[in-house]
Amino acid sequence: MNKFTILGIDPGTTATGYAFLSTDTSEKNVLIPIEYGVIKVNPRLALQQRVSEIYNRIKDLIQKFKPDEASIETIFHAKNIKSILSMGDARGVIMLALAQENIPVFEYSPREIKKAVVGNGNASKKQVQYMVKAILNLKEVPSSYDVTDALAIAICHFNKREKDL
């Protein structure tokens, strides 16, 4: 029995979604949610305090769940340049935490993630939520899009990984 743990991350400077999914490499297409949630950071804090808190919380989660690989959403086009830059700040400290633990990181665009989970790169957030719930046999839809997105990112990586094996 070969357990393999994937970490999915939806980065943000006020809310970072995370999801740890486990798979048994001897059994194809079986994904088990281990832990998922959102790191909420006070938006009134200075940026350096917010990214420091994200870094520390991600480090703690990595040390607790010891993922074999991580997947993270790429920066995408947005109307607000400030939100792109702050997402980059969050991604940077998350990537640092992963690099310090020698965890390989795989990046996926929002379109790739939606296509892998829903089958349509233009799927809505609600469609992604529905499919994440169905794929993982969750009793209820996670309470936030940040969590659903992190789960979807981990599922996307699992699917990509299975194709490449």
Catalytic residue among 10, 53, 69, 149: 10
Element of type H or E holding 18: strand 15-24
Catalytic residue among 69, 73, 112, 149: 73
Annotated catalytic residue 149: no
Q: At CB < 8 A and 24+ separation, what contacts does 111-115 make? A: 112/156, 113/73, 113/149, 113/152, 113/153, 113/156, 114/152
Catalytic residue among 53, 112, 146, 149: 146
Annotated catalytic residue 146: yes
Question: CA neighbours within 13 Å on the CB side: how many for 127?
Answer: 12
**What is the chain's length?**
165
Catalytic annotation, residues: 10, 73, 146
